[in-house]
């Protein structure tokens, strides 16, 4: 309950800091897609908070099309947006739009995905993405009691989109926890697929994750071997793995990790099909970004809490990192319902 109260207090404090309303400044918000629940929520939260703070908001979704996002951001800048907030589809694909932003002195905030290869990125707002992976890896370590159990245990890994800079942070955070047990042989990867490029899931697609998982099952587990844990970087990939297991697997149900606490995945946690999902309260992140926008507009010092970690191969981007926690069947009511993030009927 203390963590829930802290999250709500943080949102209220950030919202309170937006009390000085804007004078009609225009803010562009570019989200990657409507295909995933979380981006719809992020866009809606930010639009609502920015509008309440007095800004004119140009919110666009790019349908996971890089060229479409490039065009949308370019139009935002040309149409007079004073600040542009971008969650990039691909980290290095917005070069000409960013050049235009720099030319017109339009500050750019990278939202939850670091924009790479550009010095036009003013700030980055995200969750502690390495810690997201650490939370997942630690959950697996504790659930299997890897420090004391004899093992061995079978592990498979499904990571995120190689075009999303965050995906490697998630992966590294989890693997850094589990690597000693992999090297000692306590965790065995029957498929042999561990390197990031081998386990990555382009565009985070459920269907892509499902197809790969089905191939692994038919190739390496048709002999009746059990899978003890399937490490998945987020909920859309976890859903693909769950679908594949339901279709092609009769063994002991494995521990399955995730991220985002999507409604459909919370239902799977309640059913016992997904073990956990890292909860990133996007209300907190959206509120923080709106606060940063206001500070930029008013010429104030912008809140950051990390100035060393996130180098985009050109500059180290000043960043604000929010704190992730994990949800499970044991705490989802407190974490998601009591906090007002979902209504109970959303996940029934």
pLDDT by 10s per residue, the chain, length 348:
555 444 444 444 444 444 344 557 999 999 999 988 789 989 999 999 999 999 999 999 999 999 999 999 999 999 999 999 999 999 888 999 999 999 999 999 999 999 999 999 999 999 999 999 999 999 999 999 999 999 999 999 999 999 888 999 999 999 999 999 999 999 999 999 999 999 999 999 999 999 999 999 999 999 999 999 999 999 999 999 999 999 999 999 999 999 999 999 999 999 999 999 999 998 999 999 999 999 999 999 999 999 999 999 999 999 999 999 999 999 999 999 999 999 999 998
What CATH number is given to the structural domain containing 6?
3.40.50.2300
Is 124 part of any domain? yes
Query: Are 163 and 69 part of one and the same domain?
Result: no
Provide the pLDDT for residue 125: 97
**Residues 255 and 150 placed together within one structural domain of the fold:** yes
* Three-class secondary structure assignment of 245-259: HHHHCCCCCCEECCE
Statement to judge: residues 291 and 311 lie in one domain: yes
Same domain? For 62 and 187 the reply is no
pLDDT the model gives residue 348: 84
> What is the maximal distance between C-alpha atoms in the chain?
67
- Residue 341 maps to a domain: no
Closest by CA position to 84, among listed 76, 72, 96: 76
- For 24, the domain range is 2-128+281-324
With respect to residue 241, please indicate whether it lies within any of the assigned structural domains.
yes
* Distance (Å, whole) CA 289 – CA 198: 34
In order, the DSSP letters of 111-170 are ESSPPPS-S---EEEEE-HHHHHHHHHHHHHHHHTTTT----EEEEEE---TTSHHHHHH
Q: What is the pLDDT of residue 163?
A: 87
Number of structural domains found in the chain: 2
Same structural domain for residues 44 and 96?
yes
């Amino acid at each position: 309950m203390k963590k829930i109260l802290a999250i709500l207090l943080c949102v209220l404090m950030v919202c309170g800091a937006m009390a000085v309303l804007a004078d009609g400044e225009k803010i562009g918000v570019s989200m990657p897609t409507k295909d995933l629940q979380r981006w719809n929520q992020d866009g809606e939260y930010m639009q609502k908070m920015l509008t309440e703070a007095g800004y004119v908001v140009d919110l666009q979704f790019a349908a996971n099309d890089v060229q479409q996002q490039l065009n949308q951001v370019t139009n935002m800048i040309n149409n007079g947006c004073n600040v542009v907030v971008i969650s990039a589809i691909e980290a290095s694909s917005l070069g000409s739009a960013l050049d235009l932003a720099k030319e017109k002195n339009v500050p750019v905030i990278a939202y939850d995905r670091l924009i790479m290869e550009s010095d036009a990125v003013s700030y980055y707002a995200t969750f502690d993405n390495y810690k997201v992976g650490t939370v997942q890896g630690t959950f697996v370590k504790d659930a299997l009691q890897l420090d004391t159990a004899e093992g061995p245990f079978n592990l498979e890994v499904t990571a995120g989109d190689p075009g999303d800079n965050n995906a490697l942070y998630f992966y590294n955070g989890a693997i850094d926890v589990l690597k000693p047990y992999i090297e000692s042989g306590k965790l065995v990867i029957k498929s042999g697929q561990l390197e990031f490029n081998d386990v990555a899931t382009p565009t985070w697609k459920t269907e892509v994750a499902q197809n790969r998982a089905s191939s692994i099952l038919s190739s390496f587990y048709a002999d009746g071997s059990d899978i003890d844990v399937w490490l998945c970087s987020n909920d859309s990939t976890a859903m693909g793995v769950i679908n594949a297991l339901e279709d092609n697997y009769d063994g002991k149900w494995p521990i399955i990790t995730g991220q985002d606490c999507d409604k459909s995945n919370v239902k799977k946690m309640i059913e016992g099909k997904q073990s956990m999902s890292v909860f990133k309260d996007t209300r907190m992140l959206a509120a923080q970004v709106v606060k940063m926008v206001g500070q930029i507009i008013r010429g104030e010092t912008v809140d950051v809490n990390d100035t060393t970690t996130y180098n985009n191969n050109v500059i180290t981007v000043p960043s604000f990192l929010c704190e992730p926690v994990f949800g499970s069947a044991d705490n989802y009511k407190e974490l998601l319902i009591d906090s007002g993030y979902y209504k109970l009927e959303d996940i029934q």
